[in-house]
């Protein structure tokens, strides 16, 4: 039997397997490899400034002539750049207290001072500050100008941008973690809804994948659903189909690929981890995210501190993560990943991972009938 659904026709792809937009990790090489294999590669552009985003889109176009997508975040409530640092719900002293906490941790771990560490820059200094309203708007302007084949909002509702996206012929998807969000985004008239459950890597839902997918499928009527969260092999793809999904949105399985834009020590952390290796932590971005357990997540949970909202928590954790990257410290920044990583045994080319997902799913579905 061949793995095929309406999603293939909507997106113009051979198999309904979509590379999840993983911020920074799903770069042009990985996205193009998945698209070239017959799926849809989606750029994880959440933290890309507008210039970097345009470059990524252009590089992806140079690497594949197949459809691809761009994933960014569209949070419902965000700060404007001019309000950063203003007093209010996040007073400057709270930020500086947590920055001291982070600096103490770095000293204890023998990491260089944050000032000496360069972040892996994804935005130019003359561009709007990360995760402000102006930043998200500037990203969307590039998505629209570049007429990308597919746009996915990893967080929030693409509704306000639908008219312009539609005028370009861009197909639109949104990632949700609850039925009420699925109903909200469906009202914007998008093409595909991604139901991402608690098992998944990165920002995620409190609802488990097995329970979430069928409830979203039932709630959204004729809009096709991709299942996500903890799907790492063909059995997971087949299970998503059994739950009513018409395709899958796969992240972590592709993190341990040669093409993934993460550090080798992070790929090794995935290979080494078991199914117990991840935790939900707000220590990195301020929002609950599934991440490989580390000294930083442990310290944060022991400290009992409340994280700051986006984008402030990133200003606390960013220098720690950057220093850990510089020093190749997998014990401090192993990265976001889902619970399925216990099944990952080695780092392989993305095309091979993709082929195994397809053949494994076809086998499992044939067995299940
Ligand atoms: C390293 C990493 C980064 C992620 N960054 C984003 C992101 O920027 N935007 C987004 O929509 N989802 C992001 N996610 C969530 C993925 O899009 C996807 O929903 C998740 O990986 C699915 O679960 P899985 O990892 O078990 O396959 C990220 C996930 C990981 C593992």
**How far does the centroid of ligand 1 lie from the alpha carbon of residue 107, in Å?**
30
Dihedral of alpha carbons 69, 243, 176, 273, sign: negative
Pocket residue to mutate for ligand 1, from 17, 19, 22, most atoms within 8 A of Cβ = 22
Using omega within 30 degrees of 0 as the cis cutoff, is the peptide bond preceding 311 cis?
yes
What's the 106 CA to ligand 1 centre distance in angstroms? 27
- pLDDT at 160 (0 to 100): 94
Per-residue pLDDT of the chain (369 residues; tens, 9 = 90+): 689 999 999 999 999 999 999 999 999 999 999 999 999 999 999 999 999 999 999 999 999 999 999 999 998 777 777 676 654 555 578 899 999 999 999 999 999 865 544 445 577 778 898 888 899 999 999 999 999 999 999 999 999 999 999 999 999 999 999 999 999 999 999 999 999 999 999 998 999 999 999 999 999 999 999 999 999 999 999 999 999 999 999 999 999 999 999 999 999 999 999 999 999 999 999 999 999 999 999 999 999 999 998 888 999 999 999 999 999 999 999 999 999 999 999 999 999 999 999 999 999 999 976
Domains of the chain, each with CATH number or no CATH? 6-81+91-368 (3.20.20.70)
Other CB atoms within a 10 A radius of the CB of residue 169 amount to: 8
Q: What is the pTM of this model?
A: 0.95
Supply the residue whose CA is at minimum distance from atom 10 of ligand 1.
154
Question: What's the confidence (pLDDT) of residue 119?
Answer: 46
Give the pLDDT confidence score for residue 222 in this predicted structure.
96
The rounded distance, in Å, linking the Cα atoms of 147 and 161 is 13
Query: What integer pLDDT is reported at residue 125 of this predicted model?
Result: 77
Q: Where are the alpha helices (DSSP H) in the chain?
A: 6-11, 28-37, 50-63, 92-108, 133-145, 162-167, 179-186, 209-219, 234-242, 252-255, 264-272, 295-303, 312-326, 350-368
């Amino acid at each position: 039997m061949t793995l095929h659904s309406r999603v293939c026709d909507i997106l113009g792809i051979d198999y309904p397997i979509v590379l999840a937009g993983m911020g920074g990790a799903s770069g042009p090489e990985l996205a193009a490899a998945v698209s070239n294999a017959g799926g849809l590669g989606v750029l994880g552009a959440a933290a890309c400034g507008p210039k970097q985003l345009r470059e990524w889109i252009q590089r992806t176009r140079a690497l594949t002539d197949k459809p691809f997508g761009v994933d960014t975040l569209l949070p419902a409530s965000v700060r404007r750049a001019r309000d950063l640092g203003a007093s209010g719900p996040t007073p400057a002293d709270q930020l500086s207290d947590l920055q001291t906490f982070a600096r103490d941790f770095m000293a204890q771990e023998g990491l260089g001072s944050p000032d000496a560490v360069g972040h892996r820059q994804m935005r130019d200094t003359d561009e709007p500050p990360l995760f402000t309203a102006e930043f998200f708007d500037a990203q969307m302007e590039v998505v629209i100008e570049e007429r990308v084949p597919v746009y996915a909002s990893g967080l929030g509702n693409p509704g306000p941008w639908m008219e312009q996206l539609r005028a370009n012929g861009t197909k639109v998807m949104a990632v949700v973690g609850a039925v009420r969000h699925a109903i909200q985004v469906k009202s914007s008239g998008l093409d595909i809804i991604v139901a991402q459950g608690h098992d998944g890597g990165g920002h995620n839902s409190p609802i488990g994948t097995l329970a979430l997918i069928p409830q979203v499928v039932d709630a959204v009527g004729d809009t096709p659903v991709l299942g996500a969260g903890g799907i790492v092999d063909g059995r997971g793809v087949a299970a998503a189909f059994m739950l009513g999904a018409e395709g899958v949105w796969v992240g972590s399985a592709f993190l341990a690929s040669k093409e993934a834009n993460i550090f080798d020590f992070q790929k090794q952390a995935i290979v080494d981890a078991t199914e117990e290796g991840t935790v939900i932590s707000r220590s990195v971005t301020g929002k609950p995210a599934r991440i490989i357990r580390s000294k930083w997540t442990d310290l944060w949970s022991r400290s009992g501190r409340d994280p700051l909202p986006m984008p402030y928590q990133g200003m606390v954790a960013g220098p720690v993560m950057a220093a850990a990257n510089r020093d190749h410290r997998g014990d401090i920044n192993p990265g976001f990943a889902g619970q399925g990583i216990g099944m990952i045994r080695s780092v392989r080319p993305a095309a091979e991972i993709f082929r195994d997902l397809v053949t494994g799913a076809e086998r499992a579905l044939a067995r299940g009938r």
